[in-house]
Amino acid sequence: MFKVFPVKGGFENVKGFFCGATNVGMRTSPANSDISDIDGDVAFLRSQTTCDVSAIFTSNTFQAAPIKHFQKYPKDFQTNFVLINAKNANAMTGEKGVEDIDTIMSILNTKIDVLNPIMSSTGVIGYRLPIDKIISAFDTLRFNECNSHKTARAIMTTDSFKKELAYKIELDSGESFNIAAICKGAGMINPAMATMLCFIATDANIPKNDMDELLKQSAEDSFNRISVDGDTSTNDTVMLLSNKESGAYHKEAFREALNKIMFELAMMILKDGEGANKLVTFEVKGAKSKAEAKKASMALSNSLLVKTALFGEDPNWGRIASTIGASGINCDEHKLIIHYDDLLIYSNEFRELDAKREEMAYKIMKQDSFKITCDIGVGTDSYISYGCDLSYEYVKINAEYRT
């Protein structure tokens, strides 16, 4: 049918896309300038031909100016340019924030022809964009080159490594198309709280309807599993651009590739959790409904007491049970069964860990990643979410973020 396989690099794999970044000095005074790997603060992604665009934005009522600016375009508009900046979220900046984007884009348009340009920002909330600094980038950005690594690095804030992936899809017909993406985000388990940005570019000849459908579905199975509904930042954005330049398309192949890319990026965000050391999979099964399974699973991946126990490598299953009981789902302590990886930790017949099994539990928890499975025992629905531990480092990073 088709082959989906990873390739090296990022956007340079996708026909007709250019990208790059430059440093206009926005990183100098604020924090994180000590990450030597970051050498830009203004970046762009453009296509030589116009693109369809699908986007998913934060559910925060206070959407940042770039999101409001995007939403002013007519439905199903096309674009060929995305401008991205770090260190300033352009959020809570009112109408002025949107006007600033128009100003920047009108100046951009004197340098290079852009159609319905999009802006995307991440950083501190509540400050107007430094327009002069940002437009100074237009003198040094190389609009006809493709420096994907540099672009991926430039959008980082508290990230400790860049997030960039590319997949090639080969169809039986001999045709092929490509998808690449970059992403930033390093929240605790909740990338939404620190801004999450993800830009995906493809040369597949994908219809706009499929873009909307598949982006939404992939987000549900990736970023939404490491994030809490409704607890999102002002700027969160996942954007898919397609310029159709390969001429090739196959829906199931595209779905598979997009799922892979978005899931891998979500896991990269989690592994880069601020101060986090462990990646834990929380499977809740045997729930009365999928909604209840999700509720309990997300409660586990977000519980401070669970997260600190993971950091302490303490097989304290009581905190797991207590969190499920507190989540408000249908459950019964006589039916609950808890496993850490394949080790039975709790069931009605087996409530206390003996020394030997406690030793085995410690070993499991010492791993970089493992799975906690809770069978609620009252139904057939399940849900998987992904979390990480909470360390001293998380507190340090977030206490010192702005200054």
Q: Is-catalytic flag, 202?
A: no
Longest dimension (CA), the chain: 74
Nearer to a copy of itself, 22 or 234 (CB): 234
- Which positions lie near a copy of itself, rule CB under 8 A? 59-63, 89, 91-94, 124-128, 188, 190, 192-194, 230-234, 304-305, 308-309, 311-312, 314, 316-319, 321-322, 324-329, 331-334, 346, 348, 351-352, 390-392, 394-396, 398-403
Per annotation, catalytic residue among 93, 195, 202, 237: 195
Nearer to a copy of itself, 49 or 322 (CB): 322
Nearer to a copy of itself, 138 or 317 (CB): 317
Beta carbon of residue 65, minimum distance to a copy of itself (angstroms, whole number)? 10
Beta carbon of residue 33, minimum distance to a copy of itself (angstroms, whole number)? 17
Beta carbon of residue 327, minimum distance to a copy of itself (angstroms, whole number)? 7
Nearer to a copy of itself, 264 or 313 (CB): 313
Q: How many CB atoms lie within 10 A of CB 57?
A: 19
The beta-strand segments (E) located in 263-312 are 279-287
Closest CA to 131 of 185, 71, 90: 90
Whether the CB-CB separation of 258 and 179 falls below 8 Å is answered with yes
Beta carbon of residue 59, minimum distance to a copy of itself (angstroms, whole number)? 8
Q: How many CB atoms lie within 10 A of CB 26?
A: 21
Under DSSP, the state recorded for 12 is G
* Separation between Cα atoms, residue 339 and residue 336, nearest integer Å: 10
Q: Burial, 146: exposed, middle or buried (Cβ in 10 Å; 0-12, 13-18, 19+)?
A: buried
Beta carbon of residue 391, minimum distance to a copy of itself (angstroms, whole number)? 6
Beta carbon of residue 280, minimum distance to a copy of itself (angstroms, whole number)? 15
Under DSSP, the state recorded for 56 is E
DSSP three-state, residue 251:
helix
- What are the angstrom distances between the C-alpha of 216 and each of 10, 183, 219, 220, 253? 22, 16, 5, 6, 16
* Separation between Cα atoms, residue 198 and residue 192, nearest integer Å: 12
Beta carbon of residue 303, minimum distance to a copy of itself (angstroms, whole number)? 8
Q: How many CB atoms lie within 10 A of CB 147?
A: 21
Nearer to a copy of itself, 29 or 61 (CB): 61
Nearer to a copy of itself, 38 or 310 (CB): 310
Nearer to a copy of itself, 248 or 390 (CB): 390
Whether the CB-CB separation of 43 and 120 falls below 8 Å is answered with no
Side chain identity at 369, as an amino acid letter? S
Tokens 């891998």 appear where? 264
CA dihedral 267, 268, 269, 274 (to 10 degrees): 110
Catalytic sites, residue numbers: 195
